[in-house]
């Protein structure tokens, strides 16, 4: 079921041929915090559910060409094993996101949309990618983390999970970090302003005086101005 904005937790299933990729990811602090606060992140090993012999999951492309294509019957078996329904019906119940280089580009608005869901399913491709019928009939979205090609969907899934989980309450040490950051509403969708810390002067590079002034209104206005400038520059 689709949720409402401002949820406290999300349940994410990642379908992958390489679940072991995520072992390190699980140990990261903000991920652990998000899980402790009620979110769930689980990997489903696609190969474990293949109906084909010898753990086969892919096949050569019709029409010829390089590489191997992830089979639609194999993906269906994995989705059925997890959810117990025809995967065609699944996307009415939860967001099923196929990770593809040519998909909808991930940005802060898209992350917020995903973070507002109760549950997400991320499908990681490998090799030449998905049999297109997986995308057409099982997925609700195609998502790209950028216009370049990775070897597999796993790093893309981590990017999505990282960006989604840090939007949820309890994930970050300081909840305010996610409220006022690049592209947030608080900064009118602009990149964040520059930060500085001690020493106040280093090799002759001085921190802007206003930041040392203790004058909160002037600091606030200086930050907004730098943030707008950065939006124009980029
Ligand atoms: C080698 S890529 C397949 C590339 C595909 N043949 C093409 O030219 O678009 C294998 C898998 O990595 C994932 N992938 C690669 N680049 C990605 C990106 N920029 N965003 C999201 N997923 C990506 C997808 O799941 C894809 O199926």
Residue 117 has pLDDT above 50, yes or no: yes
Element (H, E) at 141: strand 141-144
How many angstroms does the Cα of residue 100 sit away from the middle of ligand 1?
5
Q: Tokens standing for 215?
A: 């004058």
Burial of 155 (0-12, 13-18, 19+ CB in 10 A): middle
Highest mean pLDDT among 28-32, 55-59, 182-186: 55-59
Residue 36 has pLDDT above 90, yes or no: yes
Residue nearest atom 15 in ligand 1 by C-alpha distance: 150
Residue nearest atom 1 in ligand 1 by C-alpha distance: 151
How many angstroms does the Cα of residue 98 sit away from the middle of ligand 1?
10
- In ligand 1, which atom is closest to the CA atom of 145? 20
Residue 208 has pLDDT above 90, yes or no: yes
Average pLDDT of the residues in 158-175: 88
pLDDT in tens, 6-25: 568 999 999 999 999 999 99
Q: Is the CB of 149 under 6 A from ligand 1?
A: yes
Better pLDDT: 179 or 135: 135
- In ligand 1, which atom is closest to the CA atom of 129? 27
Residue 234 has a pLDDT of 78
pLDDT in tens, 143-165: 999 999 999 999 999 999 999 99
Residue 5 has a pLDDT of 45
Which residue carries 């001085």 as its tokens?
A: 206
Residue 181 has pLDDT above 80, yes or no: yes
Residue 175 has a pLDDT of 67
Residue 169 has a pLDDT of 86
Residue of 99, 114, 144 to test ligand 1 pocket, by largest number of atoms within 8 Å of CB: 99
Mean pLDDT of the chain: 94
Q: Tokens standing for 169?
A: 């309450």
Residue 173 has a pLDDT of 73
Burial of 36 (0-12, 13-18, 19+ CB in 10 A): exposed
Which residue carries 């930050």 as its tokens?
A: 223
Measured CA to CA, the distance from residue 79 to residue 71 in angstroms comes to 13
Residue of 71, 123, 150, 158 to test ligand 1 pocket, by largest number of atoms within 8 Å of CB: 150
Residue 174 has pLDDT above 90, yes or no: no
């Amino acid at each position: 079921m689709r949720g409402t904005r401002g949820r406290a937790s999300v349940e994410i299933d990642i379908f992958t041929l390489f679940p072991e990729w995520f072992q390190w990811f699980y140990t990261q602090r903000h991920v652990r915090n998000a899980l402790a606060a009620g979110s769930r992140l689980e990997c489903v090993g696609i190969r474990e559910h293949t109906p084909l012999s010898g753990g086969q999951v892919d096949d050569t492309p019709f029409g010829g060409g390089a590489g191997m294509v992830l089979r639609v019957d194999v993906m269906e078996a994995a989705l059925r094993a997890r959810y117990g329904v025809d995967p065609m019906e699944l996307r009415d119940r939860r967001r099923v996101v196929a990770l593809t280089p040519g998909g909808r580009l991930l940005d802060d608005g898209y992350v917020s949309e995903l973070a507002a869901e109760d549950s997400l399913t991320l499908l990681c491709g490998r090799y030449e990618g998905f049999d297109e019928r997986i995308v057409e009939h099982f997925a609700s979205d195609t998502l790209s983390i950028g216009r370049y090609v990775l070897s597999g969907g796993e790093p893309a899934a981590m990017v999505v999970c990282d960006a989604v989980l840090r939007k949820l309450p309890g994930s970050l040490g300081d909840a305010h970090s996610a409220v006022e950051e690049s592209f947030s509403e608080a900064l009118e969708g602009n990149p964040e302003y520059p930060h500085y810390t001690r020493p106040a002067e280093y090799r002759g590079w001085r921190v802007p005086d206003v930041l040392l002034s203790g004058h909160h209104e002037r600091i606030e206005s200086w930050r907004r101005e730098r943030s707008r400038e950065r939006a124009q520059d980029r």
